[in-house]
Amino acid sequence: MIVSWNWLAEYVRLDRSVEELTERLALSGLNHEGTTEVGGDLAIDLEVTSNRADCLSHLGIAREVAVLQGDELREPDPRPAEVGEPVERLTAVAVEAPDVCPLFTARVVTGVRVGESPWWMRRRLETLGVRPVSNVVDITNYVLFECGQPLHAYDLDRLAGRRLIVRKARAGETLRAINGKVYPLSPEMLVIADAERPVGLAGVMGGLETEIGPETRNVLIESAVFDPVSVRRTARALGLHSPSSFRFERGIDPERTEWASRRCAELILELAGGTLHRGVIQVGSAERERPAIVLRFGQIGRILGVEIEADEAVRILRALGLECLERGPESARFRPPSWRPDLEREIDLIEEVARIHGYDQIPEDRRVPLSRSARGRRERVEAEVRATLAGLGLNEAYTYSLVAEPLDTPITIEGAQPSLRVDHSSRKKETALRQSLVPSLLAARASNEAHGNPDVGLFEIATVYLPRGETELPDQPTRLGMVMGGDFAEIKGVVEALVERLHVNDPVAARPLVSPLFREGHAAALSWGGEVLGYVGVVSEAWRKRLDLNADCVAAELELDRLVERAELVPAYRRLPTQPAVTRDLSLVVDRRLPWAELAAVVEAAAGPELEAVTYLDTFTGGNLPPSSQSVHFGLRFRHPERTLTGAEVDQRVAAVVEACRTRLGAELRS
């Protein structure tokens, strides 16, 4: 924000040097970028943070200076004389998109004389780097830089139907802007139109066909409020930015809109003559909710490390425009002014008190009391996950949430929707919000392979973005992704080790999974009691070729929330067994399509209460087995809690298992 020293002096007393003033402003949050002399004036360049849109004007900076100096702000009070017939007889305004245009005002001045602006106005605009055009156009720019409210002036006689309509652009419409360029419009862009065509881009730039020219006699003054997101999207989509869009994108003071319209009309009457018609057309409301904020005086000293009297804190906040609604001995309630939507919490008020009181007044050696905070459940589980996976040889990775087209693939195809996209990402290729961590980790593994590190194992804890519809925000679950070399058994073993480290007692069920990321027949979906835990599998050949991966690799992706919910951070005591275990191995010939989970369930149901574990060992196909069959080799471990099992008892249990598998699954004991 460039400020004119001479212009600023109209609103506040400047009895100190520019160096002293800019240093004090810098200490209050407005950093000084530089000062340049321009034709007997000083152009002061101040850095204004995005949350302080109220300082994007001379009145806003003057308000800060007045508070810092304890002076009075001299603000103009525009009261232009209205003598013409009612404005409603000359024009009309319709707002068809009130959600992105909550307030629109229009005034009409007839009989103006367009010409050159007076030297003082030209000089002030030139100090800011703005080229003077004509008195009417310069006045709209002058008021913009004076109070921060963008305005636009239309030649009323060149508006078809002599009316304005605020609406979304229609397919195929274009606009020739005042810079002479023609811009194609899309239906999500908000435009100002007359009865026939768009005549301006709302909040961005006006149109050439209705601009003020030497022959203009009747002027319509627009002063409005537009949605910041709508303005930002339009400006970025067209690559068209202006001082108006810069301010609308950061949010303007809606209670300044009508003031700016009156101020513009007053200056037009003064510098261009004419007749201001009675009244103003106003569509919408300037009201904005401003919840009260409670300030506890004791918190000021606790947070800043220096005591500031309650009276002084109240004085500072009142000087900044906050309304003190209620005050007690320990606290006070304040309502922020309309130009400070960034004030939302108690800490915001404490910061305001600190910066006006002076950060330089806070002793550097003052101790600020601190207290330790305990890690929450999620942090503790994440720490266990990281320690376990690092101990198993995996390295933690951090990859981008935005991915390019080759990595834009969900881990499951069931119910998947197209990924959300960011049209104007600073990374031009990475425009999709990822739905899975595995593709990004595979790309990282491929990069490691290319640099001579082929055996790297990677894991990442991060958010994915699952679309829920065009108008709803996406689901954003946190997931744990893993990629490593090896086969299905190895990645399954990593997941089992992780579940065991978190002391989860619930059995994990698996079912076959069809996924574009995994090899067919070598992937599984994991669940706990019907709740999805995640997915494991061998990476498909197609994905290895897509990413130039040479070695076979496996991957897993787990729902971190499920692990957090079921983890036992304090493991329960379990008495060690006092009786010996008895083990048996079985090889059963079963149908080739039979999943292990179904076979294990039948075994567990038939083996009796002494069965301690059933462990998958191997699968054999070929040889003398029919093509439709497979031999599944697994182990059984039996143990009685109070005595030693006899061989006969165990043989009886094994025979029951074989009979149950034969009856229910058609299995045969392999000789």
Name the segment(s) of the chain with CATH classification 3.30.56.10.
2-69, 293-361
| Rounded CA separation 12/73 (Å) | 5
Name, in order, each residue with C-beta under 8 angstroms of 492's C-beta and a sequence gap of 6 or more.
524, 536
Cα-only R_g, the chain:
36
Which pLDDT value is given to residue 471? Answer: 67
Name the segment(s) of the chain with CATH classification 3.30.930.10.
377-566
| Rounded CA separation 658/607 (Å) | 9
Stretch 416-445: mean pLDDT: 82
Paired tokens of 379:
């942090």
Q: How confident is the model at residue 470 (pLDDT cuts 50, 70, 90)?
A: low
Name, in order, each residue with C-beta under 8 angstroms of 659's C-beta and a sequence gap of 6 or more.
606
Q: How far is it between the farthest Cα atoms of the chain?
A: 115
How many other CB atoms are there within 10 angstroms of residue 371's CB atom? 4
Within its chain, how far is the Cα of 78 from the centroid? 41
Name the segment(s) of the chain with CATH classification 3.50.40.10.
82-284
234-283 residue pLDDT tens: 999 899 999 999 999 999 999 999 999 999 999 999 999 999 999 999 99
Quick check: 628 and 591 in contact, CB under 8 A? yes
Which pLDDT value is given to residue 76? Answer: 94
**Is residue 587 within a helix (H) or strand (E), and if so which, with residue range?**
strand 582-591
561-607 residue pLDDT tens: 999 999 988 888 888 889 999 999 999 999 988 888 889 989 999 99
Helix and strand element counts for the chain (H, E)? 18, 32
Which pLDDT value is given to residue 512? Answer: 84
Paired tokens of 105:
């005002």
With a cut of 70, say whether residue 10 has pLDDT above it: yes
Name the segment(s) of the chain with CATH classification 3.30.70.380.
582-669
Paired tokens of 138:
């310069």
With a cut of 60, say whether residue 425 has pLDDT above it: no
Instruction: Select the CATH number that applies to the domain covering 293-361 from these four: 3.40.50.720, 3.10.20.600, 3.40.20.10, 3.30.56.10.
Output: 3.30.56.10
Task: Classify domain 82-284 at the CATH superfamily level.
Answer: Phenylalanyl-trna Synthetase, Chain B, domain 3 (3.50.40.10)
**Mean of the per-residue pLDDT values of the chain:** 91
Q: How confident is the model at residue 373 (pLDDT cuts 50, 70, 90)?
A: confident
DSSP type of residue 394: E
Instruction: Select the CATH number that applies to the domain covering 2-69 from these four: 3.30.56.10, 3.90.1300.10, 2.115.10.20, 1.10.420.10.
Output: 3.30.56.10
86-133 residue pLDDT tens: 999 999 999 999 999 999 999 999 999 999 999 999 999 999 999 999
Given this structure, which CATH class describes domain 377-566?
Answer: alpha beta
Percent of the chain whose predicted confidence (pLDDT) is above 90? 73
Quick check: 537 and 555 in contact, CB under 8 A? yes
Q: Where are the alpha helices (DSSP H) in 424-486?
A: 438-450
Architecture per CATH, domain 582-669, reads as 2-Layer Sandwich (3.30)
| Rounded CA separation 353/347 (Å) | 10
